[in-house]
Structure 1
Amino acid sequence: MECLIDHIVIDVRDRIAEGAAAFRRLGFQLTPMGKHSLGSANHLAVLGRDYLELLGTDVPGGALRPDLAPFPAGLNGLVFLGQDSEALSAEQQSRGVPVQPALSFFRPADLPDGSRADAKFKVVRLDRAAAFDGRVYWCEHLTPEHVWRPEWQVHANGATGVARILLSVRDPERQAALFRRMFGAAAVTEGADGRAILRAGAAVVEAAPHAAVAAELGAAAPDPAGRGDHMAVLGLRVASPAATAAALSANGVTLLAPSPGLLRVPAAQAMNTTIDFMG
């Protein structure tokens, strides 16, 4: 099946206002807060064909969804684009991928004409123990017009789409084996230092050894907060790194420049999420 990233989840727990303020400072335009029928709340940063989701609860100190409660703030959800969720679940089970049955939910959305409608979704989730210490699932959009609206897709930082996800793992081959079962052997290749590389359309998902990730990120790395294998970097494509640098510097954001055309936001400035803006 085709492998495409649908969205990336940043957990903000009960600090959704703080998370929204941090990501607006980073130059993202966020959608109004949405409230899911599952009991969670979110803001989105809608990009060209994928998006970022700040996910938690709208109540400071409030209870979190049981599937979110064990995780710290930061990158936590790798979400692929789903179609025909019931068939997808059956197919993945036949491949030996430990997925749960399709789950339907919704959130009310305000429309441009002032009316309201439900944004509807179906998801197929992997069992938590199947992959890294985070959440992996497919999302099927039954009402994509309530997510990808042109007025939400322009960001001061110039972000246009997800380019790279970096996983910090003990055993890249274990993660590679799962991706092969999910998407087929041809979707995964081996890179430098034994890392596994999953091609996801124009983006890549890399599973690299802990030591390699630590060497790449240094002090810009997220705090694992007790996790073992975890999502470490969110890489976003931008049209002009120079324009991105100017927009973020005007907001007081401290940027690193590890290599030409690459700007890095240390995790401490982005809800425990290391963000790369890539030209």
Structure 2
Amino acid sequence: MISSPHPLDHFVLPTANIAGARERLGKLGFTVAADARHPFGTENACVFFPDNIYLEPLGVASQEQCQASVAEGNVFVARDQAYRFRIDDEGFSAIVFGTDDAVADDERFRANAMSAGNMLDFARPMRMPDGSEVTAGFRLAFAADLRSPDFFTFCCQRINPLPADRGALERHANGVTGIARIAVSTPKPAAFRGFFEQVAGGPKIVDHSFGLTVHAANAGIEVLTPQGMEAFYDLPVPAEDPGLRARAILFKTRDLSVTSAHLTANGVTYTRKNNRILAKPAPGQGALFAFEEIA
């Protein structure tokens, strides 16, 4: 395996329209990679960071192909379709960990009764800013908790890794240099300690008054009560659903004044709380985006 615990690799953000997500993320100050099509009916336009984490806004390129993929047992597409049916076409559906051995992760998930289904191997082309094209290959091992139908996770092994030199895609006008942590909500954080212990490969987990902090190899996952979401992110969330829901992403920025100036210039509404800038979810931006000066 790549490490124990695993690092965070990327986050899946369903969107109704890839072009709309590109526009929204551009206004937020992010550099967005060229559109890329999956071989099973979905498409993305990713945002990469120097810390090797990326955002994956995910659209539906062909509903017919997606339905056929679900019928063939494609867990990735099935989960995306279920999220859109149950929640919305806009949102934050999955967190993804990096691994060097997805087969071993799948075996661990099955041994602990948390496998979400069959593994998936696929490849897709990626167009670089200089016009060149490379083929990226992936192997995915899926995990889920039946108590949380609107959240899942998987381990992603890069069989044919993305180019190491993605400098042009990793520079962002808003000053963001990486991701510090993400926030997941549930009224019962302690109930999901075991799930995160297994899926992240033995991370350090710290309890606090608002829930848990799971320390992956390169960033944190905050598992927060609704009160914690209000306290840290000023985001009201319903307390009726006891399952996990991914809610927010905290970005590291070099200079918060650069971030605020860019958002203001582009007409993006934001608030401030606890030395952070908060941009609430919007079409093309399925999670709350928080920005903080973090070295």
Q: TM-score, normalised by structure 2?
A: 0.82
Q: Indicate if the aligned counterparts of 1:82 and 1:123 stay in contact, CA closer than 8 A.
A: no
Paired residue type of 2:277: L
TM-fit CA distance, 1:234: 0.9
Equivalent of residue 176 in structure 1, options 165, 170, 193: 193
Q: How does 1:1-279 map to 2 (within 5 A)?
A: 1-12=4-15, 14-48=16-50, 49-58=52-61, 65-71=77-83, 72=88, 73-111=90-128, 114-127=131-144, 129=146, 131=148, 133-146=150-163, 149-183=166-200, 187-193=204-210, 195-218=211-234, 220-221=235-236, 228-260=243-275, 262-268=276-282, 271-279=285-293
Q: Indicate if the aligned counterparts of 1:222 and 1:273 stay in contact, CA closer than 8 A.
A: no
1:223-263 superposed Cα distances (whole Å, 9 cap, x missing partner): 99x89531111111111111111111111111211022x11
Which runs of 5 or more structure 1 residues have no equivalent in the other structure?
none
CA distance in structure 1 between the aligned counterparts of 2:146 and 2:30, rounded to whole angstroms:
32
TM-fit CA distance, 1:161: 1.4
Paired residue type of 2:171: V
For the residue of structure 1 that corresponds to 2:156, the secondary structure is: strand
CA distance in structure 1 between the aligned counterparts of 2:138 and 2:59, rounded to whole angstroms:
17
Structure-2 change in CA distance of 1:223 and 1:16 (3 Å)? farther
CA distance in structure 2 between the aligned counterparts of 1:41 and 1:106, rounded to whole angstroms:
12
Q: Indicate if the aligned counterparts of 1:170 and 1:210 stay in contact, CA closer than 8 A.
A: yes
Aligned length: 274
1:82-133 superposed Cα distances (whole Å, 9 cap, x missing partner): 2121122123333444353431011112356645332111111114626562
For the residue of structure 2 that corresponds to 1:166, the secondary structure is: strand
Structure 1 residues 45-54 or 264-273, which shifts more?
Answer: 264-273
RMSD of Structure 2 on Structure 1 (CA)? 2.8
Which runs of 5 or more structure 2 residues have no equivalent in the other structure?
68-76
Q: Indicate if the aligned counterparts of 2:233 and 2:278 stay in contact, CA closer than 8 A.
A: no
Structure-2 change in CA distance of 1:183 and 1:227 (3 Å)? closer
Q: Which has the higher contact order (CA 8 A, sep 6+)?
A: 2
Q: Percent identity?
A: 23
Structure 1 residues 126-135 or 175-184, which shifts more?
Answer: 126-135
For the residue of structure 1 that corresponds to 2:174, the secondary structure is: coil
Structure-2 change in CA distance of 1:111 and 1:155 (3 Å)? closer
CA distance in structure 2 between the aligned counterparts of 1:113 and 1:84, rounded to whole angstroms:
32
Structure-2 change in CA distance of 1:272 and 1:149 (3 Å)? closer
Structure-2 change in CA distance of 1:228 and 1:160 (3 Å)? same
For the residue of structure 2 that corresponds to 1:268, the secondary structure is: coil
CA distance in structure 2 between the aligned counterparts of 1:132 and 1:162, rounded to whole angstroms:
26
Paired residue type of 1:189: V
CA distance in structure 2 between the aligned counterparts of 1:128 and 1:61, rounded to whole angstroms:
28
Q: Indicate if the aligned counterparts of 1:89 and 1:99 stay in contact, CA closer than 8 A.
A: no
Paired residue type of 1:2: P
1:172-215 superposed Cα distances (whole Å, 9 cap, x missing partner): 0121121123346652120123x011001342101111233245
